[in-house]
Amino acid sequence: MTLSIGLLVGLVAFSVAAILVRDILKAAICLAAASLLLGILFFVMKAPYIGAFEISVVAGLITVLFMVTIALTKAEGDVRESKLAAWAFPLFFAVFLIIDVLVMKSLIGKIPTQTTTAEGGSFGEALWKGRTFDLVAQIGVIFAGVFAVLALFRKRSKDE
């Protein structure tokens, strides 16, 4: 329990830091750290498959993609950012925490523990037999992401 709470606190702290730090490289690292803690949390909560995916894909692969993208980007002068985020975000975060403390504990307490879960049975069974349609949708989501990148980073010819 203490370990879980520690991991959760770390997760929230790194997530907040990812939003608040101004350097995008540091933000990407904070995000990776948050994902890593979340992945460990999944292991602690006995969901090893999702934990492995979280660490390998979100903490690993996506972070590498962020790093490469940031490395390829050139800084062109200072971009002025709104000061609003600096005070509005902590305010919303505080309100969220208060609501969370007041509501979530009793809410979660009322949710009955399930005897069967998605990860009952082997990972392969869950993925290929239980949630096959999800894979089709995931392929679509990946397609959408790839084509979005192709569309947004396309070179426009002079006549366009």
Partner 1 sequence: MIFLFIALPLVVAGLLPLIGKISKKVLPDILANGVFFVLLCYAVFVGRSLISKGPIVQQLIWLGEPVNIHMALDAFSLFMLFTVALVGLCVGLYSIDYMEHYGDKATYYALLLIMLAGMNGLLIVTDLFQVYLFLEMAAIASYALVAYGLGQDELEASFKYLMLSAVASGFIVISIAILFGLTGGLSFESVAAGLRGLDVKYEVGICTALFIFGFGLKAALIPFHAWLPDAHPSAPAPISAMLSGLLIKVSGIYALTRIFLTVLGLTPALSTILMYLGVISIVVAAFLALGQRDIKRMLAYSSISQVGYIILGIGLGTPLGILGGLFHLLNHALAKSLLFLNSGSIQMSTGTRNLDEMGGLAKRMPFTAATSLIGSLAIAGVPPLNGFWSKLIIIVALVQAKMWAFALIAVLASVLTLWYYLLIQRKAFFGQLNERWRDIKEAPFWMTLSTVILGLLCIAIGILFSLIIKTWVAPARDVLANAAQTMIGARGL
73 binds partner 1 (CB under 8 A): no
Taking CB under 8 A as the criterion, which residues in 83-102 touch partner 1?
Answer: none
| Residue type at 157 in one-letter notation | S
Per the CB < 8 A criterion, the answer to whether 7 and 14 are in contact is no
130 binds partner 1 (CB under 8 A): yes
Which range binds partner 1 by CB under 8 A, 27-35, 43-51, 88-96, 142-150?
142-150
140 binds partner 1 (CB under 8 A): yes
Half-sphere exposure of 51 (CA within 13 A, CB side): 12
109 binds partner 1 (CB under 8 A): no
139 binds partner 1 (CB under 8 A): yes
Quote the CA–CA distance of 43 and 46 in Å, as a whole number: 5
Quote the CA–CA distance of 41 and 54 in Å, as a whole number: 10
Query: Residue 95 corresponds to which tokens in the numbers above?
Result: 């309100």
Binding site for partner 1 (CB under 8 A): 107, 110-112, 114-117, 128-134, 136-141, 143-145, 147-148, 150-152, 154, 156-157, 159-160
